Amino acid sequence: LDYPCHAASLPVAMIPNCAATRHIHFKLKGGNGPAIFERPDLDIWPDIELPMDTIKRVNIEDLTKENLSQFKSGDTLLISGKILTARDAAHKKIVEYKNAGKPLPNGVDLKDRFIYYVGPVDPVRDEAVGPAGPTTSTRMDKFTKDMMEIGIMGMIGKAERKQPTIDLIKEYGSIYLIATGGAAYLISQSIKSAKVLAFEEIGMEAIYEFEVKDMPVTVAVDTQGNSIHTTGPAKWRTI
């Protein structure tokens, strides 16, 4: 710099890493050979029992647009079956195919499918997939009308949707589910198989097909356009 300045004014470069690379920091004090780490005692975490009387188990492949209305904003579901994944880059490619009047790549049929907004981390050892937590759904709002026109049944992500998107969900009789942000590893335990269907060249943003078993989600926007991100805070204010 040409002139002295306060340290807080110095330029700073930051490199965000959205993927969970799962590394650990350690120091070796003399000697050589591998570093050995003790596995944490899982007993230090409390046992948590799900209130199964209020949770609905759902085979997502049995759902139709006609029976989606049974689910209401705030319902907790354990979903099983096959879902597709797509994030920003895949959505952009899908819409480009649609606008060009081109069929999607072989093996990709979005009709009556649920799209999970996720870019999974590569698996290790015997994992079907690495950590696979939801990305913020709001970024996909600009693609939602095109995806609805293609024929998707529902979406899975995290965070609220903008009002025009909520209106589209109601118009098309669709549904929006949310998975727990920050629980990527735990969510991955419900994924029993994963395979790339298209756009392998964009890495973790490729379209995958996941087979899930009891994946926990919450109905965030139901077919009537009721949003938990609106009704939830309103309820809290009365407590």
- Counted residue by residue, the chain has a size of 239
Q: Within a domain: residue 191?
A: yes
Return the bridge partners of 155, or none.
115, 176
Predicted TM-score of the model (pTM) = 0.81
CATH number at 191 reads: 3.20.130.10
Q: Which residues are catalytic?
A: 91
Q: Within a domain: residue 200?
A: yes
Q: Write out pLDDT tens, residues 44-94.
A: 888 877 777 889 999 999 999 999 999 999 999 999 999 999 999 999 999
Asked if residue 115 lies in contact with residue 135, where contact means CB atoms within 8 angstroms, the answer is no
Euclidean distance between the first and the last CA atom of the chain, given in angstroms as a whole number? 55
Q: Within a domain: residue 28?
A: no
Asked if residue 79 lies in contact with residue 58, where contact means CB atoms within 8 angstroms, the answer is yes
Q: Within a domain: residue 227?
A: yes
Q: Within a domain: residue 7?
A: no
Q: Within a domain: residue 21?
A: no
Host domain of residue 102: 52-236
Q: Within a domain: residue 86?
A: yes
> What is the tally of structural domains in the chain?
1
Q: Within a domain: residue 79?
A: yes
Residue 153: the pLDDT is 97
Q: Write out pLDDT tens, residues 176-223.
A: 999 998 899 999 999 999 999 999 999 999 999 999 999 999 999 999
**String of DSSP letters for 143-204:** GHHHHHHHT--EEEEBS---HHHHHHHHHTT-EEEEPPTT-HHHHHTTEEEEEEEE-GGGGG
